[in-house]
Amino acid sequence: MTSYTKHYINGAWQEASSKAHFEVHDASTEEVMATVPQGTVEEAAQAVMAARKAFPAWSGLSVEERCQYIDKIVASLKARSDEMATAIAREVGMPLKLSKMVQVGGPVFNWGNAAKVARAYQYEEKIGNSMVVREPVGVVGCITPWNFPLNQITLKIAPALAAGCTVVLKPSEIAPVNAMILAEIIHDAGVPAGVFNLVNGAGPVVGEVLASHHEVDMVSFTGSTRAGKRVAALAAESVKRVTLELGGKSASIVLLDADMEAAVKGTLTACFLNSGQTCSAHTRMLVPESRYDEVKSLLKTGIAKYPLGPSLEETTRLGPLITATQRERVLGFIQQGLNQGAELIAGGTDKPAFDKGYFVHPTALRVKPDDTLAREEIFGPVLVVLTYKDEDEAVRIANDTIYGLGGGVWSGSEEHAMAVARRMRTGQVDINGAPFNGNAPFGGYKQSGNGRENGKFGFEEFLEHKAIQLKPADKA
């Protein structure tokens, strides 16, 4: 077990003022794998002031100078990728092979991409008699979740630093070990004191300081819709810029002319990634009534190919959930669905054959549009299936949610799929299982949040516009 006792503030590891700590559990064994300190209001405020002090010099560096620090971070992250992947596999529960590819491979790309975008970006534009310039927004408070912990940190910290902002990070207290390793990497890269700060702590303590402190210019939050509303309310008092990436209940619309086998396989992949602990997971599958029996049979076969197992075992395709609380929450949703009359297609609430670990069987249920499971974000390996009579009804069902983060359309015709995709009120739509694009904007409609991450779109969130009016030259 690793016991962390320090926060990273103003370029140094500072002993925590409180002996209170959080326990970090291995999701597969339930053992305590690490502890991190519980930060205080005072420590969070100290980190904010360190970031404020560092901002003028950091923002005054050239883009190339800032990006050279990022290049060093990328190199060190690659060198420590096995260590990082193992830590995340243990604390989150994603199988190690996937953890290497997704939980670490994604951040390596996104750190490097932030520098690439920053180097190519046009910061000045002449419009009439104005010079329009883009400048860093200032001090950014970053509050990140536990499900893709390093990547969610990266999508905030990397573009913010590249843009010339200074940051204070509050990582998830449930999966903070990866953040501590990243802080070591940033320190070793020689990033100037105060530019990056990390304070572990609870949301109602450290998180609320970042959302409300008058010296924080922007807060970037990823997490639950409930917590996001609280962050936005606090930030409104000082009129901060706020970006929110929140919950989802994404629909995978399978059209009548789709390849049903491919649609089922692809939807299960999009639903069960990270044991369903993904905000943009395709957790509602909408299928034509006339094809339901076929889809039901394919789902039973497909779900049987997702064996549960500890995250560090090579054969594991589906790992545990992150905590006992999360496991009980997901099991409670499944039971609620059954109580409301849902048809169990596969999985269920039976205890998996493991003495330890927060495991839940991958599950599929047929539900009705007004059922709880069709409307609430479950955040576990649970797919709900709804049937529709025609495409208009399918689109209505897909859009009938407070969320709008992800989605998919399956069709034998790309043109047909595109027409339906354009009608969906959501931030991303995958056609026929098309791959994720790290340069396309990621974010949501409605209560899935506001603002975007990834590529130039995420980079621009950390920039302000300034118009400098120039006196026109006298005409000859």
Cα–Cα distance, 19 to 6 (Å, whole number): 10
HSE-up of residue 359 (Cα within 13 Å, Cβ side) = 23
3-class state of residue 148 by DSSP: coil
Cα–Cα distance, 92 to 110 (Å, whole number): 20
| Helix, strand, coil share of the chain (percent; to 5) | 40, 20, 35
Query: Which residues are bridge partners to 364 per DSSP?
Result: 346, 383
What does the DSSP assignment read for 154-219?
Answer: HHHHHHHHHHT-EEEEE--SSS-HHHHHHHHHHHHTTPPTTSEEE----IIIIIHHHHH-TT--EE
Give, in order, the Cα–Cα distances in Å from 361 to each of 93, 250, 267, 307, 331: 14, 21, 17, 9, 9
Query: Which one is catalytic: 43, 245, 453, 461?
Result: 245
Query: Which one is catalytic: 67, 142, 165, 279?
Result: 279
Active-site annotation holds for 67? no
Q: Count Cβ neighbours within 10 Å for each residue of 280-318 and write b for 16 or more, e otherwise.
A: bbbbbbbbbeebeeebbebbeebbeebebbbbbeeebeb
Active-site annotation holds for 279? yes
3-class state of residue 273 by DSSP: helix
Annotated active-site positions, please?
A: 245, 279
